[in-house]
């Protein structure tokens, strides 16, 4: 049982498609994150939201568009992706990214394949 | 910039035995946090153990313990009485002490297989 749930777990999309990944946390946290996990590379932070406000964009291409309507939900909108964007996308949350050292809890990830 | 190095891409251990996974990191910070996460085949990243750099005492969590050597910038994970459910990828991660975003810097991971 995870406090951070992601849907869909698997997604295959064409380069011209528009799709979205959804994340919901049930932990009462205020900060949410998107990470990208590619083969043979360390996890990369993409975006951070704290109290619904974006506090970090780690030089992510504009074909990835995050949305955080409230502290419990986080979306990643995808459009005109490239095959190299195929990866596992992990959502995470923590109590408050403005307070240092809070443990970050992860969801199970969404496998994305771009064809 | 912070870097985290896990020099053992793969390791195996016999069930009930003890195994140690290595991690080194590079930082100019004096205060920070270190974590070990486990990623089983389900792909969920699960926190195993956490260490605050200002604490000299090594963190322990049941069968999991760390050997934190601040001067050497080393943070190894020891798993005692290994169980089949410990089979997973293990990631070492570093977090700076700062306000604002809590960014975790991850190593490339060690794949641990527990052999029955």
Span A47-63, pLDDT tens digits: 999 888 888 888 899 99
Asked if B107 is an interface residue toward chain A (Cβ–Cβ < 8 A), one would say yes
Is beta strand A73-79 parallel, antiparallel or unpaired with respect to A64-70? antiparallel
Rounded Cα gap, residues A42 and A44, in angstroms: 6
Of B37, B42, B100, the CB nearest to A98: B100
Note the residue count of chain A: 115
Contact B102, A96 (CB under 8 A): no
**Percent of chain B scoring above 90 in pLDDT:** 78
Q: Which residue, among A47, A6, A53, has the nearest Cα to A26 in the 3D structure?
A: A6
Q: Does A50 touch chain B (CB under 8 A)?
A: yes
- Chain B CA closest to residue A6: B44
The pLDDT value recorded for residue A58 is: 83
**Does B43 lie at the interface with A, CB-CB under 8 angstroms?**
yes
Whole-number Å distance between alpha carbons of A77 and A34 = 12
Q: Distance from CA of residue A55 to its chain's centroid?
A: 14
- At B100 the pLDDT is 60
Higher pLDDT, B43 or A27: A27
Tell me whether strands A73-79 and A110-114 are parallel, antiparallel or unpaired.
unpaired
Interface of B with A in 67-106 (CB under 8 A): 91, 95-106
Quick one: average pLDDT of B39-58? Answer: 91
Residue pointed to by tokens 């020891």: B78
pLDDT surpasses 70 at A97: no
pLDDT at B111 over 80: yes
Per-residue pLDDT at B16 exceeds 90? yes
Measured CA to CA, the distance from residue B101 to residue A39 in angstroms comes to 25
Contact A97 B43 (CB under 8 A): no
Distance from CA of B51 to the nearest CA of A (A): 10
Using an 8 Å CB-CB cutoff, list chain B residues near A41: 108
Quote the CA–CA distance of A103 and A94 in Å, as a whole number. Answer: 6
């Amino acid at each position: 049982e995870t406090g951070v749930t992601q849907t869909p777990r698997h997604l295959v999309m064409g380069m011209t498609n528009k799709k979205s990944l959804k994340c919901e946390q049930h932990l009462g946290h205020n900060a949410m994150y998107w990470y990208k996990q590619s083969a043979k590379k360390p996890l990369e932070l993409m975006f951070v939201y704290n109290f619904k406000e974006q506090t970090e964009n780690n030089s992510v291409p504009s074909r990835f568009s995050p949305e955080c309507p409230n502290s419990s939900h986080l979306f990643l909108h995808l459009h005109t992706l490239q095959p190299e964007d195929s990866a596992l996308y992990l959502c995470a949350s923590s109590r408050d990214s403005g307070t240092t050292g809070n443990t970050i809890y992860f969801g199970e990830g969404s496998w994305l394949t771009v064809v | 910039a912070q870097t985290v190095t896990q020099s053992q891409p793969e390791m195996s251990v016999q069930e009930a035995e003890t195994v140690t996974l290595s991690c080194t990191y590079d930082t100019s910070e004096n205060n920070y946090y270190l974590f070990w996460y486990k990623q089983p085949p389900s792909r969920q990243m699960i926190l195993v153990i956490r260490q605050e750099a200002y604490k000299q005492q090594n963190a322990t969590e049941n069968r999991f313990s760390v050997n934190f050597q601040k001067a050497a910038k080393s943070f190894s994970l020891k798993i005692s009485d290994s169980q089949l459910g410990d089979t997973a990828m293990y990631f070492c991660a570093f977090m700076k002490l700062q306000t604002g975003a809590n960014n975790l810097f991850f190593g490339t991971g060690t794949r641990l297989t527990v052999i029955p």
